[in-house]
A and B are shown apart, each in its own frame.
Chain A
Amino acid sequence: MLPTTHLQQSLDNKRNWLLFFALAVVYVLAMFCAKILLTNDELYLASLAGQMTEEQARTAIELNKEWNWAGYFLFPLLLLTKFAIIAGILSTGYYISANRWVFAPFFRAAIIAEFVMILPVVIRIFWFGSVHPNYNLSDLQNFYPLSISSLFSSSQVEAWLRYPLQVASLFEVAYWLLIIKGVHQLLDLSWSRATRLVGLSYGPALLIWMLLVMFTIVSTS
Chain B
Amino acid sequence: MSPPIRYTVLALMFVLMAGLGWGIHSKLRQRQELGQQFARLPEFAARTLKGGAVLAPPQTPGPVVLVYFEPDCDHCQRQAVEIHRHAAQFGAVPVLWLSKDSLVVLQRFAQQYGLLRLPTMQVAQIRPETATALGFFSAPDIRVYDADKKMCHRYKGETSALAIINKLHPN
Asked if A and B are interacting partners, one says yes
Secondary structure at the B interface, as helix, strand, loop or mixed, is helix
* Residue numbers in B under 8 Å from A52 (CB-CB): 158-160
Is A85 engaged at the interface, CB distance under 8 Å to the other chain?
no
Whether A54 lies near B160 (C-beta < 8 A) is yes
Interface residues on B, range: 20 to 34
Which residue numbers of A lie inside 8 Å of B, CB to CB? Answer: 49-56, 92, 95-97, 99, 160, 204, 207-208, 211-212, 214-215, 218-219
B2-40 CB contact bits vs A (8 Å, 1 = yes)? 000110010001001100110110011001000000000
Nearest chain A CB to B168's CB is how many angstroms away?
13
3 shortest interchain CB distances as A-B pairs: A211-B20, A218-B27, A50-B163
Whether B24 lies near A211 (C-beta < 8 A) is yes
Nearest chain A CB to B23's CB is how many angstroms away?
5
Chain A residue with the shortest CB-CB distance to B81: A53
* Residue numbers in A under 8 Å from B6 (CB-CB): 96
Whether B5 lies near A96 (C-beta < 8 A) is yes
Whether A50 lies near B160 (C-beta < 8 A) is yes
Chain B residue with the shortest CB-CB distance to A93: B9
Whether A207 lies near B17 (C-beta < 8 A) is yes
Whether B20 lies near A49 (C-beta < 8 A) is no
Whether A204 lies near B17 (C-beta < 8 A) is yes
Contact partner of B23 (CB less than 8 A), chosen from A92, A204, A215, is: A215
Can you offer 30 A-B residue contacts whose CB atoms are under 8 A? A49-B163, A50-B160, A50-B162, A50-B166, A51-B159, A52-B158, A52-B159, A53-B82, A53-B158, A53-B160, A53-B161, A54-B160, A56-B158, A92-B9, A95-B1, A96-B9, A97-B1, A99-B1, A204-B13, A207-B17, A208-B13, A208-B16, A211-B20, A212-B20, A214-B20, A215-B20, A215-B23, A215-B24, A219-B23, A219-B27
